[in-house]
Structures are given as C-alpha cells and as structure tokens.
C-alpha cells in the first residue's frame, strides 16, 4: 500500500489531529490546515509526517503534554504549539519523543511552554529551525527549551531559544551535534551538559543568560566558533568547566562577560585561537587543573586576564597576545623579549576580599601590580607567558 495524504482542517472531513492520526496508516502524511486546534495528549504511535500549513495553532490549554511520539520515523513540522501544562511532578513538554529514532522536529514555534522539546531515550534524529519563546520567572517552576535525556546521535541546529530555564540541556546524552543555535535571555544556562560525552557544539550564540554554558562531568567535548556575550551577574560567566577532561576550546569569542571561562578540576584541555574581550575576568582557575594548554589566544582589555588560586603545575601559557603587555621586542621577531606575567596581585586581593574591587582603577593598585610584575611574590614562578606576541593573532 502506498503512502496517502490526509487533510485535516475545520472544513475537511477530518477536523482534529487526533482523529487524523487514528485514520492514518504507517508512513502517511497529515496535512493540517491553518486554524486553531484545542488538543492535548496527542499520541503519535506510528511512522507519520505531520505537516502544518500556515502554522496552525495547537493549544494545549495548560492541561498537560501536547504531543507524545512513541514511534520511529515521525516528522513534525510547521506548527505553533502553545499553553503546555505546568506540573511540579511531571515534565510536561510541547513535543516529547520517547524511545524512538529517525525523528525530525523542524520549523515549529513554541509559546507559553513548560518544557519545549523533550527527547527521552531516543536516537538518530534532528531538532532544527524551531523558535522557542518562554516567560520563565523562577527556576523551580520552569522547564528547559530543548532537553535530551539518555539520547544519542542527535543534531540540534539553528534553533532560537529564549526565556526558559536552560536553553538546551543534555543529561547522559552522547554524540550530540549542536550547531548554529541562538540561546538568549534564559534564567540559568544557555547550554548545559551533565554526564554527556563525545559531543560537539559550534557556531552558537549564548547571550544575556544567567550564565552562558556549563559543561560538567563530561569528556571529549569540542567547542568551536561560539560567541559568549554579555552574561553578566555576580555568579555569571561565559562558560563554566567543572570536572571535564580531554576537551578542545578553539576559535570562540568571549565578550563582556563577568567571567569569560570559570574552570574547576578540568584537565588536558586545549585553549587555542580564542578572543577574550572586555570581560571582568577572562579566565578564572579554581581547584586542581592539570596539563592544560593555552596557546595563541588574544586577551584584549579585560579587567583581569587571569586569576589563579592554585599551583600552575604543568599548565602552559605560551604564545598568546596580551593587550596590557608592557614589554618590548628589540630583535623585531614579533615575540616579546621579556616574559609576561598575566596574574595581577590585585586579583588575589579581590578573590579574598571582593569589596576591594572598588579600588580597581586606583593609582595605588597600579603601583602594587607593577611591583608584583617586577618582583613576583604571590604569582607562581612558572605562571608566565615566555613568548608573548606583539600583535593581535589573526
């Protein structure tokens, strides 16, 4: 039997989405016409394509979940889904995919949601080009825009997410590709990893979130070409790394964040070709971090380029450009003739007594920072860039 197309609209023979699914055979297409459909707990239990024409509105009336997919090879495209039910015991979502593969959720619009798209123990699918707009106020009664739980091999690309708890949240999810998304104005994180390995995120924007990205308890994460901008607040940062290993952070922009990267207990990470511009702290290192390599990065006009509260050990800071480097290059080879020590004494003082930050631009602090550079007392001897670049690295 060949696949059929079933029209669903208010003037059609079939007037509800749920009825259309009931009448459909596997691999049929439902064409849902423009209009208003007050439906929730819609179960898709066979391979189908649900295509909206003119963004038909599916209103869940805050009664619970709107669409649940429990079959392989399901496509949901072109809908405006709103009014997901809020619960303190269930993670209601606009679209939930459960133990399925080969799914595609594309070009939908979500408003007044709890969770937006929730992938549960699913694999081999695409979440692309969706617009998710929430109005979250408190973390305890809000959900995430896109959540992956025990899901693998999924592409999450070109989505626009605002006003939720976490823009994109991964938990126990591996081999995920996150590309070209915009995650802004979310309560907690723009992107959040927990116990998720072998993932790649590239060319995304994380702006004006509680914090940009948190990568926690994960391995082999590749992060390239992303922009972390204007994540401001007393506990905000562009990126948090906590207990991660064997990662690559290459070619990213960290601009106007309270802290560009906050690092705790993370090892064997390559930081290369990144631009740290006008942050409070470009990099703040807390706790034991070993075998990290900071190479050919630009540090431009940050209040503090580097803050450190432990021994450098075998971490390397070589060949970076530092806008506040005051050395010289007599042999004209493009490399400073004297090492650069990026840690200011004042950063130690601020770490211990944050109230002293009010003295940041004072002459007195400039003098003691200069004294520390000339004759280091608090800075570890090996915390220096012995090959500081004289020009911005392109």
Per the structure, the count of domains in the chain is: 1
DSSP string over 331-361? T-SSB-SS-B--B-HHHHHHHH-GGGGGGTT
Choose the weakest-confidence range: 44-58, 85-99, 115-129, 358-372.
358-372
Angle at 381 (CA atoms; ends 379, 384), nearest 5 degrees: 80
Residue 49 maps to a domain: yes
- CB atoms near residue 353 (< 10 Å): 9
> What pLDDT, on the 0 to 100 scale, is given for residue 347?
66
DSSP string over 97-118? EES-BS-EEES-EEES-SEEEE
Choose the weakest-confidence range: 19-33, 65-79, 166-180, 355-369.
355-369
pTM for the predicted model, two decimal places: 0.90
Which two three-digit tokens encode residue 59? 């209103």
Q: In which order are the strands placed within the sheet that holds 93-98?
A: 42-44, 67-69, 93-98, 115-120, 146-149, 168-171, 189-194, 211-216, 239-242, 259-264, 281-286, 304-308
- Is residue 336 predicted with pLDDT exceeding 70? yes
To which residue do tokens 């607040």 refer?
A: 233
304 versus 369: which is more confidently predicted? Answer: 304
State the Cα torsion 249-253-257-262 to the nearest 10°: 10
- Averaged pLDDT, 258-284: 95
> What pLDDT, on the 0 to 100 scale, is given for residue 363?
65
**CB-CB contact of 144 with 165 (8 Å):** yes
Long-range contacts of 184-189 (CB under 8 A, 24+ apart): 184/208, 184/209, 185/209, 186/136, 186/145, 186/161, 186/162, 186/210, 187/136, 187/137, 187/138, 187/139, 187/142, 188/139, 189/213, 189/214
Residue 276 maps to a domain: no
**CB-CB contact of 340 with 384 (8 Å):** yes
- Is residue 310 predicted with pLDDT exceeding 80? no
Residue 248 maps to a domain: no
Residue 176 structural domain: 1-198
- CB atoms near residue 276 (< 10 Å): 29
- C-alpha 367/C-alpha 349 separation (Å) is 14
Residue 61 maps to a domain: yes
> What pLDDT, on the 0 to 100 scale, is given for residue 293?
95
Residue 240 maps to a domain: no
Residue 271 maps to a domain: no
pLDDT digits (tens, 9 = 90+) for 149-168: 999 999 999 999 999 999 99
- Averaged pLDDT, 263-291: 93
For residue 385, what are the contacts with CB-CB under 8 A and spacing of at least 6?
317, 318, 319, 320, 322, 339, 340, 341, 342
Which band of pLDDT confidence, cut at 50, 70 and 90, is reported for residue 91? confident
- Averaged pLDDT, 69-96: 93
Choose the weakest-confidence range: 12-21, 24-33, 362-371.
362-371
Residue 252 maps to a domain: no
27: three-class secondary structure by DSSP: coil
Which band of pLDDT confidence, cut at 50, 70 and 90, is reported for residue 233? confident
pLDDT digits (tens, 9 = 90+) for 105-146: 999 999 988 999 999 999 999 999 999 999 887 877 789 999
Nearest-Å Rg of the Cα atoms of the chain is 25
- CB atoms near residue 66 (< 10 Å): 28
- C-alpha 355/C-alpha 306 separation (Å) is 19
- C-alpha 274/C-alpha 256 separation (Å) is 14
- Is residue 295 predicted with pLDDT exceeding 70? yes
Residue 278 maps to a domain: no
The helix or strand, by DSSP H or E, that contains position 70, with its residue range, turns out to be: none
CA-to-CA separations, 362 to 233, 234, 322, 356, 367, in angstroms, rounded: 23, 22, 21, 11, 9
- C-alpha 178/C-alpha 180 separation (Å) is 7
Report the CATH number at residue 68. Answer: 2.160.20.10
């Amino acid at each position: 039997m060949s696949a059929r197309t079933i029209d669903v609209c208010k003037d059609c023979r079939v007037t509800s989405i749920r009825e259309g699914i009931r009448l459909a055979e596997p691999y049929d297409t439902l064409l849902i016409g423009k209009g208003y459909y007050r439906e929730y707990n819609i179960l898709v239990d066979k391979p189908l394509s649900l295509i909206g024409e003119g963004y038909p509105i599916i209103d869940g009336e805050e009664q619970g979940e709107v669409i649940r997919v429990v079959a392989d090879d399901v496509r949901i495209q072109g809908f405006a889904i709103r009014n997901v039910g809020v619960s303190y015991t269930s993670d209601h979502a606009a679209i939930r995919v459960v133990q399925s593969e080969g799914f595609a959720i594309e070009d939908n619009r979500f408003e007044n949601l709890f969770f937006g798209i929730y992938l549960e123990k699913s694999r081999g699918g695409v979440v692309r080009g969706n617009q998710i707009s929430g109005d979250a106020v408190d973390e305890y009664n809000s959900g995430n825009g896109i959540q992956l739980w025990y899901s693998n091999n999924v592409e999450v690309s070109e989505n626009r997410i605002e006003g939720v708890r976490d823009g994109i949240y991964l938990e126990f999810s591996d081999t995920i590709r996150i590309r070209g998304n915009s995650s802004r104005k979310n309560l907690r994180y723009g992107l959040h990893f927990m116990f998720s390995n072998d993932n790649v995120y590239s060319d995304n924007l994380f702006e004006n979130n509680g914090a940009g990205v948190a990568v926690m308890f994960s391995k082999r994460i590749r992060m390239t070409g992303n922009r972390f901008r204007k994540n401001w607040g007393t506990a905000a940062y562009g990126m948090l790394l906590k207990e991660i290993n064997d990662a690559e952070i290459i070619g990213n922009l960290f601009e106007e964040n309270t802290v560009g990267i906050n690092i705790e207990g993370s090892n064997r990470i390559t930081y290369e070709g990144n631009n740290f511009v006008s942050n409070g702290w470009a990099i703040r290192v807390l706790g034991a971090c070993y075998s990290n390599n900071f190479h050919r990065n630009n540090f431009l006009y940050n209040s503090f380029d580097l803050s450190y509260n432990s021994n450098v050990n075998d971490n390397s800071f070589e060949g970076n450009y530092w806008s506040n480097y005051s050395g010289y290059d007599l042999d004209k080879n493009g490399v400073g003739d004297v090492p650069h020590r990026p840690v200011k004494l004042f950063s130690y003082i601020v770490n211990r007594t944050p109230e002293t930050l009010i003295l940041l631009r004072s002459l007195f602090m400039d003098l003691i920072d200069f004294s520390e550079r000339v004759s280091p007392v608090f800075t570890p001897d090996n915390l220096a860039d012995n090959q500081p670049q004289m020009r911005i690295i392109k």
